Amino acid sequence: MRTGQFGASIPVNGGFEVDPSTIPDQVSTNQSFAAEWQFNKIRLGYRFNRSFQDNRQIGRELTDLRNVVNGLTLAINPLRELDLNFELSSEDANNRQIARTDQTLRLSCNLNWRTTPKSVLALSLWNTGVGSSGGISNSRNTEFDLQWSWRTAIEKDRFKKLQSQFFVRYSDRFARSNDLVFLVNSISRLHTLNTGLTLTFF
């Protein structure tokens, strides 16, 4: 997709005569490609996207932005009771004006295992790292969730039953951010343990 926008006519005394670079003149291109393959127990996907913002205003010809995204997904069902998902993506953002490139790399993994007809174990792990050229800034976020749920049901007849569900979940969140320009340097870590019991009467 290619889109162009420019100021065809300029309002009088609109503030544009002071600085001609305020008059819009930009051409942007956006290219995407996605493919997905389905096998017996495996699903594989790939996604590509590239965009380019070409600024053409007088005095701002170099304020261009280019972004490239690559993504890979993999879903596996080795057993009827087990779902596995993996995702890997990389993002590359280039700012030509300040000659800076920010790169993001993300990896995630999800597991959903119905250990018995009444209990489910779910595990998730994400890691996202961001870094810029020259080491000006970087950050990392790592997140981990582990959850187990167990369900019981006592059914006397169609309208008399008691259902309950118990779950326990552990979460670990780690975030680190470092920016040499703004002098930001933060680390945070959060451990959470949640439990819950649900009772349903009807």
Partner 1 sequence: MKRIVLISFPLVLLSAFSLAQGIRVNPTGVNVNSQGATTVFLTFGGLTNYRAAEACWCGSLIPATPDIGLKCDSATIFGCLPARYDLSERSGTSAYTDIMSIPPSVARRAYQAAASGDESRFIYVRRFVSTVGGPDQFVNVTCRLTGGGARVPFALTDVKLAFASDAPVLFVKLGEKLPQIRAEITYNGTGRLKGRWEVVMPGQELPSERDLLTEATLPVEERSRQRRYSEVKRFNEFLPPSGKYVLPGPDPARLPNTVEGQYLVLLRVEATDDREGDSNLAAVGDANGVAHSGAVAGFPLPVLRYYIGGESAQARVKTETPTTVIPADGASLPSDKPVDFRWTDIPGAAAYRFEIQDSQSKNILSAILLPGAGSYRAPSWLKEKTSDGRLRWRVVAIDGNGNLIAESAWHNMRLIP
Is the CB of 42 or the CB of 98 nearer to partner 1? 98
Smallest distance from partner 1 to CB 184, Å = 5
CA–CA dist 43, 33 (Å, integer): 17
Smallest distance from partner 1 to CB 32, Å = 9
Is the CB of 76 or the CB of 145 nearer to partner 1? 145
Name the amino acid, one letter, at 76: I
Smallest distance from partner 1 to CB 192, Å = 7
Ramachandran class of 89: left when φ > 0, alpha when ψ lies in -120 to 50, beta otherwise = beta
Q: Secondary structure of the chain in the HEC alphabet?
A: CEEEEECCCCCCCCCCCCCHHHCCEEEEEEEEEEEEEECCCEEEEEEEEEEEEEECCCCCCCCCEEEEEEEEEEEEEEECCEEEEEEEEEEEEEECCCCEEEEEEEEEEEEEEEEECCEEEEEEEEEEEEEEHHHCEEEEEEEEEEEEEEEEEEEEECCEEEEEEEEEEEEEEEEEEEECCCCEEEEEEEEEEEEEEEEEEC
Smallest distance from partner 1 to CB 171, Å = 8
Point out which residues pair with 171 in neighbouring strands. Answer: 145, 192
Smallest distance from partner 1 to CB 175, Å = 6
Is the CB of 46 or the CB of 139 nearer to partner 1? 139
Smallest distance from partner 1 to CB 15, Å = 4
Tokens matching residue 81: 């009771």
